[in-house]
Chain A
Amino acid sequence: MKCGRIACSAGLVVLILGGADWKQYRGSDSTGVATEPAPTRFGADQNVAWKADLPDRGLSSPIVVGDRVFLTASGGLQHDRLFILGFDAKTGHRLWQRSFWGTGPTDAHPKTCMAAPTPASDGRHLVALFATDDLICLDLEGNVLWMRSLYEENPGATDGRGLASSPVIVGQTVVVHLETQNTSLALGIDLKTGSNRWRIDRARMYNWTSPIILPGKTRADNLVLLQGTERLSACDPITGREVWGIKRNSDPIASSVLAGNILFVPGEKGLAAFELQPNGAAPKLLWENVKLNPVTASPLVLGDRIYSLHNGFLVAGDVKTGEVRGQLRLKGPFSASLVAAGGLIYCLNESGLAQVVKPTDKEPVLVESNSLADTILSTPAVAGGALYIRSDKRLWKIAKPISPGTPPDRG
């Protein structure tokens, strides 16, 4: 217990001093971009700080909060065994594991599983959502705070291909987007109590995108973007009120990214760039380009370029005009979304090949290819100069290895 208090306090110090966190899907700001460089050369035996075995499968990304890494996994014959895990970011020691039984159906495409949504943290709470519609909140020590069976409360809120939308924490509200072909909804949940602040119906369409925060002038003005397959909605996270919404056939898999006041939304007719407007007005369409439209992976903005994985190419587009400025053929296929560290883009394909790309004014340039020789379907986390990559049954930290002599964990 004493060690726990000291560790918790140390964690607080790290947070206050601005230690690198990656607190939700594609990072704390959902852009996929970290400024600190990470290793460009790595593999099974190179620049692997540690690797930890996982109890079962998962497509969810790791998240990093201070000196901890958190992850979900799922498995079992009926696919109803759910796990939330906490690791020491320095050593890879598993600090704790919490197991649960799924309370909703476990239908999914064989490629995915129940641990597909990525957890989210505000630095004190850890919120994990599973495709069984189980939503669980713990503190960073693994103590359970609240849990919800969203399926029992909203029967039918599943899709035969599985669910993957990750929750997002906006202030003191957890926003969950459960848009399905059946019961279809979005929820705003009080982070402290686990109770609904609001519930809104959504169109009955399959959707696997994740909400992102649209920052306002102050935190009280923040909105949450719900990328529905038929409607793009910016909602007040406290009330669920749609502040603005546009009818649009957005992509059901690749999620939006915000850069400044430009919102990039994958869609049926192409990747679209919208300029956010003040006072709750609907955004203004700047351009739309099918050649920049991602297939599965969410796009990424670096500098004045937007990058997408489109039919085996990494395509670079001008953020202002949408013109394609260059492209690079890569080895796919890709399930992981793009992330960037120190100005370089990391593209991990499903076979575990990590292709590191350097942006230029014209064609992007491949600088390294690294093989992890493992199935990678999850988007990496990037924090503190390290990559945290999750394969089907293993969690890797790609960074300079640590020195020996670290104490054992309790797990």
Chain B
Amino acid sequence: MTFVLMLFSLLTTAFAAESPASTPSMPIQASLAVLRQVGPDGKGSAEAARAWKALVTTDIHQLPEILAGMDGSNALMRNWVRSAIDDILERARVDKKQLPVAALEIFVRDTHHNSQARRLAYELILTVDAKAADRFLPNMTDDPSPELRRDAIARILKQADKAHEEGQKDEARRLYQKSFASAREQDHIDKAARRLRELGQQVDLPKHLGLILEWKLIGPFSNAKKKGVETVYPPEKQLDFGASYDGAAGKVTWTDYTSKDEHGLVDLTKGIGAHKVSVGYAAGEFASAADQVVEVRVGCYNAFKLWVNGELVLDRGDEFTGMRLDHYVAKAHLKQGKNTLLIKDCRGESQPGVPDFWQFQLRICDANGVAILSTTRPASPAPEKKS
């Protein structure tokens, strides 16, 4: 009997909790305003859950208004809205309602809107009109949305390849130059650079990317049992390029190193020596034209730390996880004039079957990936031919 009463109680609770009267009703803008209040540590969640339930009852023709609600929002809020849009779309499919394509197109073309929202709107348009890409992409090579820009550049590269294959060299060169100028991702940049060189044009890739090629290196210091990662060796205390210190294999002094790699790879085995399980430091200078906040983007095969003007801006313990351009990004404040960069590159114990590199690359750019160059940057050296 107790069991039956319990079951009855639970069932009636279930019905009561989901009666139509309890489904929240809220205007779109009110729901969005509540969702904008979400924050860390679950802040605003209870209210947001109610606003979400109201938002999902919105008709699909109001989608552009909901997408616009993501403007100026934080990432959490955008996810609340994104997931609500799924429910709106599902209801519309069941009810056989159509996407408001014309209004979505206007939304996509307005670059003031949030990039993720614009990309979502674009993808929704493509589900009903696959040729919409031809209308949008030609004007999106410098679009603030990274995904839209990437698609636009991929399209131009494809056109350039076609012109190249057909022997239309001038047209191909023009299109590859357009791609090279606007591309922000390594695969597109590299491809455009390669094709331009094939067509006889000189390309300074390190300068285009803002890679730092000139360094002073010192090491090795011990990294036995990874203890070197947290050991504060002398270069971390003071940058004295005339000093010598006790290293892991005798006295060590600073040595000049210029990367001749197209992607600014600094190979410490070449600069310091093929020392295993060691710490090496690389110091660089950057003369900034003005006080400014920049992005320092690093690729490093080893655990590393990066200081800018003595401030630790990146600290990663990952080892043997591969290396790529722009893998780690940190904002840093540069003062007008001379700034110092210091990288501590910590080579760990080698692992079977895994390459054992000791290297990094670093570039300085703005938030869009456009290079910011030192005012004292020397000419890039001739690239080293890879074997």
A142: contacting residue among B45, B80, B87, CB under 8 A: B87
Task: Determine whether B75 belongs to the interface, using a CB cutoff of 8 Å to chain A.
Answer: yes
Residues of A close to B256: CB separation below 8 A: none
Question: In angstroms, how far is the closest chain A Cβ from the Cβ of B297?
Answer: 13
Q: Output the nearest chain B residue to A100 by Cβ-Cβ distance.
A: B79
**Assuming A145-B45, A152-B75, A182-B318, is B18 touching A100 (CB within 8 A)?**
no
Q: Which stretch, A6-14, A341-349, A353-361, touches the partner chain B?
A: A6-14
Residues of A close to B43: CB separation below 8 A: 195
* Complexed CA–CA distance, A145 and B51 (Å): 10
- Report which residue of A180, A194, A410 has the largest number of chain B beta carbons within 10 angstroms of its beta carbon: A194
Task: Determine whether B129 belongs to the interface, using a CB cutoff of 8 Å to chain A.
Answer: no
Contact call A410/B94, Cβ cutoff below 8 A: yes
Q: Which stretch, B9-17, B60-68, B275-283, B356-364, touches the partner chain A?
A: B9-17
* Complexed CA–CA distance, A4 and B85 (Å): 19
Interface of A, secondary structure class, is mixed
Task: Determine whether B255 belongs to the interface, using a CB cutoff of 8 Å to chain A.
Answer: no
Q: Output the nearest chain A residue to B318 by Cβ-Cβ distance.
A: A160
Task: Determine whether A97 belongs to the interface, using a CB cutoff of 8 Å to chain B.
Answer: yes
Contact call B83/A193, Cβ cutoff below 8 A: no
Contact call A8/B14, Cβ cutoff below 8 A: yes
Q: Which stretch, B161-169, B207-215, B319-327, B365-373, touches the partner chain A?
A: B319-327
A118-169 residues at the B interface, CB under 8 angstroms: 134, 136, 142-149, 152-153, 156, 159-161
Residues of B close to A109: CB separation below 8 A: 321
Residues of A close to B86: CB separation below 8 A: 96-99
Contact call A16/B10, Cβ cutoff below 8 A: yes
Q: Output the nearest chain B residue to A16 by Cβ-Cβ distance.
A: B7
Question: In angstroms, how far is the closest chain A Cβ from the Cβ of B17?
Answer: 8
* Complexed CA–CA distance, A109 and B14 (Å): 44
Task: Determine whether A77 belongs to the interface, using a CB cutoff of 8 Å to chain B.
Answer: yes
Residues of B close to A101: CB separation below 8 A: 75, 78-79, 82, 116
A194: contacting residue among B18, B45, B83, B327, CB under 8 A: B45
Question: In angstroms, how far is the closest chain B Cβ from the Cβ of A208?
Answer: 13
Residues of A close to B327: CB separation below 8 A: 107, 160
* Complexed CA–CA distance, A404 and B322 (Å): 50
Q: Give chain A's interface residue range (CB within 8 Å of chain B).
A: 35 or more
Q: Output the nearest chain B residue to A142 by Cβ-Cβ distance.
A: B87
Contact call B316/A182, Cβ cutoff below 8 A: yes
Q: Output the nearest chain A residue to B328 by Cβ-Cβ distance.
A: A105
Residues of A close to B79: CB separation below 8 A: 100-101, 103, 134, 136, 147
- Report which residue of A96, A98, A411 has the largest number of chain B beta carbons within 10 angstroms of its beta carbon: A98
B46: contacting residue among A142, A148, A161, A193, CB under 8 A: A193
Q: Output the nearest chain A residue to B323 by Cβ-Cβ distance.
A: A160
B53: contacting residue among A143, A159, A182, CB under 8 A: A143
Task: Determine whether B192 belongs to the interface, using a CB cutoff of 8 Å to chain A.
Answer: no
Question: In angstroms, how far is the closest chain B Cβ from the Cβ of A179?
Answer: 11
Contact call A153/B45, Cβ cutoff below 8 A: no
* Complexed CA–CA distance, A411 and B89 (Å): 9
Contact call A182/B315, Cβ cutoff below 8 A: yes
**Assuming A99-B83, A143-B49, A146-B49, is B41 touching A9 (CB within 8 A)?**
no
Residues of A close to B93: CB separation below 8 A: 410-411
Contact call B83/A100, Cβ cutoff below 8 A: yes
Task: Determine whether A239 belongs to the interface, using a CB cutoff of 8 Å to chain B.
Answer: no
Residues of A close to B48: CB separation below 8 A: 144, 146
B18: contacting residue among A1, A148, A410, CB under 8 A: A1
Task: Determine whether B242 belongs to the interface, using a CB cutoff of 8 Å to chain A.
Answer: no
Task: Determine whether B42 belongs to the interface, using a CB cutoff of 8 Å to chain A.
Answer: yes
Task: Determine whether B32 belongs to the interface, using a CB cutoff of 8 Å to chain A.
Answer: no
Contact call B116/A9, Cβ cutoff below 8 A: no
* A71-106 interface bits toward B, Cβ cutoff 8 Å, 1 = contact, 0 = none: 000000110000000000000000011111101000
Question: In angstroms, how far is the closest chain B Cβ from the Cβ of A159?
Answer: 6
Question: In angstroms, how far is the closest chain A Cβ from the Cβ of B128?
Answer: 18
Task: Determine whether A204 belongs to the interface, using a CB cutoff of 8 Å to chain B.
Answer: yes
Contact call B45/A146, Cβ cutoff below 8 A: yes
What are 21 A-B contacts defined by CB distance under 8 Å?
A1-B18, A1-B23, A5-B14, A5-B18, A12-B14, A77-B150, A96-B90, A98-B83, A98-B86, A100-B79, A103-B76, A143-B49, A146-B42, A146-B46, A147-B45, A152-B75, A180-B317, A182-B317, A189-B42, A195-B41, A196-B41
Instruction: Beyond the given A5-B18, A8-B14, A193-B45, please list 12 additional residue pairs across the A-B interface where CB-CB is below 8 A.
Output: A5-B15, A9-B15, A96-B87, A100-B83, A144-B83, A146-B46, A148-B41, A153-B40, A160-B321, A195-B43, A196-B42, A411-B90
